[in-house]
Each structure stands twice: as structure tokens, then as C-alpha cells.
């Protein structure tokens, strides 16, 4: 069962992992930062799963979780919209730094295909 879940999850998470790993293998001076970002990505991916596991372990029924989600759905959507707006603002504010010699600007030569 775990293998099947891993295969299905790789269709989603693989889109973040594979390009990052390929890029990092070609740019050795970015390895430490890339590993840190991958660890952060893993933590952010796993924390909600652990929260749900803890809630069910403590006896919260799936119906209760479903009702809570229905009651708080608009709040959750507003929170996610705020998060993404904040990320967009962050990207726009740091754009100048990335355009003027920042290490992330380096793109290795790709072999012709």
C-alpha cells in the first residue's frame, strides 16, 4: 500500500523534486541551499498529515473533521489566498535582486537534444 501511495504522490511531488535535483547536481555551490529548501518542502508537506494523524489518534472522528472543514472552509480559503498573495509580493519585491547577479540566475548549459 505504501509503495502505491509513493508512486501516486510522485506524480505531484516529483514535479518539485526532479527539476530541483537535476539543477542542483549541475550547480554544486547551490547544494546546501537546495537541500535546505527540499527539507523545508518535506516538513511543510508532512506537518498537515501529522496533525490529522494526531487528531484521529486522539479520538476525533472523521465526521467531526469534515464538519470542522465545512464550517471553516471560507476562512481556510482566505488564509491560502493571503499566503499566496504574500508569496507573490515577496517574489515581486526580490525580483531586482535576482536580476543582478544572484546565484540563482545561473542556468547550466543544457545538452542539445
Flag whether 35 is in a domain. Answer: yes
Flag whether 109 is in a domain. Answer: no
Distance, CA of 16 to CA of 11 (rounded, Å): 10
Residue 8, pLDDT score: 78
Cβ pair 106, 27 in contact under 8 A: yes
User: Domain check: are 49 and 87 in the same one?
Assistant: no
Residue 18, pLDDT score: 75
Cβ pair 76, 2 in contact under 8 A: no
Residue 106, pLDDT score: 53
In the predicted model, residues of the chain with pLDDT beneath 70 are 2, 95-113
Cell triple for 44: 511543510
Cβ pair 103, 28 in contact under 8 A: no
Residue 111, pLDDT score: 57
Residue 112, pLDDT score: 57
Contacts of 32-37 with CB under 8 Å at 24 or more apart are none
Widest CA span in the chain? 57
Residue 103, pLDDT score: 52
Flag whether 45 is in a domain. Answer: yes
Q: How many domains does the chain have?
A: 2
User: Domain check: are 54 and 81 in the same one?
Assistant: no
Candidates 10, 113, 97, 12; CA nearest to 105 is: 97
> In angstroms, how far is CA 14 from the centroid of its own chain?
11
Amino acid at each position: 500500500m505504501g509503495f502505491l501511495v509513493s508512486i501516486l504522490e510522485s506524480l505531484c511531488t516529483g514535479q518539485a523534486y526532479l527539476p530541483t535535483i537535476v539543477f542542483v547536481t549541475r550547480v554544486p555551490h547551490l547544494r546546501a541551499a537546495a537541500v535546505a529548501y527540499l527539507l523545508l518542502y518535506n516538513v511543510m508537506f508532512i506537518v498537515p498529515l501529522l496533525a490529522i494523524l494526531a487528531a484521529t489518534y486522539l479520538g476525533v472522528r472523521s465526521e467531526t473533521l469534515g464538519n470542522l472543514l465545512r464550517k471553516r472552509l471560507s476562512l481556510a480559503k482566505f488564509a491560502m489566498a493571503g499566503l499566496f498573495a504574500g508569496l507573490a509580493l515577496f517574489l515581486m519585491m526580490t525580483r531586482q535582486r535576482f536580476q543582478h547577479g544572484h546565484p540563482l540566475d545561473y542556468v547550466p548549459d543544457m545538452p542539445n537534444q
